Amino acid sequence: MERDLQPTSMIVIGGQWGDEGKGKVVDLLSAGVAAAVRFNGGNNAGHTVKFEDRHFALHFIPSGIIHGHVRCYMGAWMVIDPVGVLREIDGLGEQGVDVIGRLALSERATVILPTHRALDGAREAARGAGSIGTTRRGIGPAYQDRAQRRALTTGLLRKPRTFAEHAVRVMEAHNRELGLLYGAEPVDLEAARLELEEAAERLAPLVAEVGPQILGHLSRREPVLFEGAQGVMLDLFQGTYPYVTSSSCLPGAAAVSCGIPVRALGPAVGVMKAYVTRVGGGPFPTELDGATGDHLRKRGNEFGTTTGRPRRCGWFDAAAARYAARVAGLDGIALTKLDVLDDLDEIRVAVRYRGPDGAEYVEPPADLDTLGSLEPVYETLPGWHAETVGTLDAAALPARARAYVEFLERQVGVPVVLVSTGPRREETFILGRSPLAQMLKTLMTGLDQPGQKS
């Protein structure tokens, strides 16, 4: 690849604590890309895409798959439950989306075993009040085995019998841990072995080295979209550790995951809600416990795609967003769910935090005890009391809604390039004429039909 590569690629990541609406944004942009890439996490993610009367909930497979012309890749930093991936492939097939021939899975990804799920649950129960609130999909235990260098990688799926035998040996060790440390029931290894061997047989043809294929798209100047899961504040290193997921959610992780140069990634768009939600434990400075929080949850339908858990809701936290924009190097913000704020009298935004000693913080500190002692400093903006649902361009936004968006831009220091005002594809518009806005517009044009081959 040329050193002076002008990337035709773009990376979309979560700018908050996950669930920002990445699925919809990626789906929109996928209309104009040749390839979509998931690079981190596993089925802890739940990316929702609505198209006409169809509703897709994707957990492993890139949201770009809904578009029949898009080739999809899953990178090495992902954790893969073979049975779960197959279920998703079959589910898409039932909804008329043909996956086979369009999906490649890195041979270097980590396999999630049924015992990883059991360990995730047992460890969460043992943590008691200090639980992380994981999705119990086995994500943390699978990544732990990877770091411990006893995980099975997806390359082994090409040898189904050997794969199942190795899996049994690892699961025996897990079963001992489940019994001895947690007094939990062991997983039925024979049933697991059969299921895993069968899954490996079906998944083997998808296993590939994905880096050269992704670089091939780029060298042909075909647009590639990298799709992050979770969000910056859940990143293993830069998030609110230990209340984080076990992978990196930042743009750089995509390069590591796919085995491609960082310069191949293109501009970074951070998806942020017009307010904030969080699922699971951990600090949340702007959380609302009362009626306004309930209102946001209800109007925003803030219940987990993966676990169904009610999400914690709060005001937009510009200090956290400023931090996320800095560590992820965001070039633009895709602001979602603006319409959820439509009937509020006033809207608050945390612009910084203040400590008990009066010290001010413009970003969240790493130390959670310190963060827990801080109070958000709010600015209050008037509500717009008008429907923004389905607004199709910036000019049609109520003046106060526009002022709210501009206020967030100034506070975070990053332009808002896309606004979403409803769950459907059409309920979106691009803001401004920057090169990034133009690139988004180009990618969004030519919306096609789900599952159609072109």
If one asks whether residue 249 binds ligand IMP (CB under 6 A), the answer comes out as no
Contact 95, 451 (CB under 8 A): yes
Residues 215 and 209: their CA atoms lie apart, in Å, by 11
- Measured CA to CA, the distance from residue 330 to residue 267 in angstroms comes to 8
CB of 17 to ligand IMP, least distance (A): 6
Residue 15's Cβ-count burial label (10 Å; 0-12, 13-18, 19+) is buried
Q: Give the range of 38-46, 364-372, 406-414, 437-445 binding ligand IMP by CB under 6 A.
A: 38-46
Can residue 19 be called a binding residue for ligand IMP (CB under 6 A)? yes
Residue 44 is a binding residue for ligand IMP (CB under 6 A): yes
Closest approach of Cβ 374 to ligand IMP, in Å? 20
Q: Which is nearer to ligand IMP, 96 or 242 (CB)?
A: 242
Q: Which is nearer to ligand IMP, 167 or 244 (CB)?
A: 244
Distance CA 7, CA 192 (A): 43
Cis amide bond preceding 242, omega within 30: yes
Segment near ligand IMP (CB under 6 A); pick from 50-58, 131-139, 339-347, 403-411: 131-139
**For ligand IMP, the closer CB: 249 or 397:** 249
Quick one: 44 or 238, whose CB is closer to ligand IMP? 44
187-221 residues labelled b (16+ CB within 10 A) or e (exposed): bebeebbebbbebbbbbbebbbebbeebbebbeee
Q: Residue 140 contacts by C-beta under 8 Å, 6 or more apart in sequence?
A: 120, 123, 132, 134, 245, 246
Q: Which stretch binds ligand IMP (CB under 6 A): 40-48, 65-73, 84-92, 213-221?
A: 40-48
Nearer CB in complex with ligand IMP: 57/262:
57
> Would you count residue 313 as binding ligand IMP (CB under 6 A)?
no
Q: Is 116 one of the catalytic residues?
A: no
DSSP string, 159-174: SHHHHHHHHHHHHHHH
Question: Exactly one of 10, 11, 31, 45 binds ligand IMP (CB under 6 A); which one?
Answer: 45
SS3 333: strand
| Contact between 270 and ligand IMP per CB under 6 A | no
Residue number with CB closer to ligand IMP (143 or 353): 143
Residue 234 binding ligand IMP, by CB under 6 A: yes
The interface mask with ligand IMP, positions 132-161, x = CB under 6 A, is xxxx-x-xx---------------------
Among 49, 157, 178, 229, binds ligand IMP (CB under 6 A): 229
Residue 69 designated active-site? no
Query: By CB under 6 A, is residue 280 in contact with ligand IMP?
Result: yes
Binding test (CB under 6 A) with ligand IMP, winner from 151, 233, 279, 430: 279
Give the interface segment with ligand IMP, choosing from 62-70, 129-137, 367-375, 414-422 (CB under 6 A). Answer: 129-137
Query: Residue 352 has which token pair?
Result: 């910084």
Distances (CA, A) of 295 to 47, 313, 319: 23, 9, 23
- Positive or negative torsion for Cα 167, 169, 175, 180: negative
Which residues, listed in sequence order, are joined to residue 424 by a DSSP beta bridge? 50
Least separation in angstroms between CB 78 and ligand IMP: 12
- Alpha helix stretches (DSSP H) within 9-59: 22-30
Closest distance of CB 258 from ligand IMP, Å: 20
DSSP assignment of 276-295: EEE-SSS--TTB--SHHHHH
Cα–Cα distance list, 28 to 36, 66, 194, 316, 429 (Å): 12, 10, 39, 24, 11
Q: Which two tokens stand for residue 342?
A: 């439509």
How many residues belong to the site for ligand IMP (CB under 6 A)?
19
Q: Return the range that interacts with ligand IMP (CB under 6 A); candidates 77-85, 126-134, 189-197, 351-359.
A: 126-134
| Helical ranges in 341-397 per DSSP H | 368-372
| Pairing assessment for the beta strands 110-111 and 79-80 based on DSSP bridges | parallel
Q: How far is the CB of 235 from ligand IMP (least distance, A)?
A: 10
Does 415 bind ligand IMP (CB under 6 A)? Our answer is: no
Residue nearest to ligand IMP (CB): 280
161 φ, ψ to 5°?
A: -65, -50
- Joined tokens for residue 21: 């609406």
Select from 40, 154, 175, 245 the one that contacts ligand IMP (CB under 6 A). 245
Q: Which amino acid is at 404?
A: Y
Catalytic residues: 19, 47
- Which residue ranges make up the site for ligand IMP (CB under 6 A)? 18-19, 44-46, 132-135, 137, 139-140, 229-230, 234, 245-246, 279-280
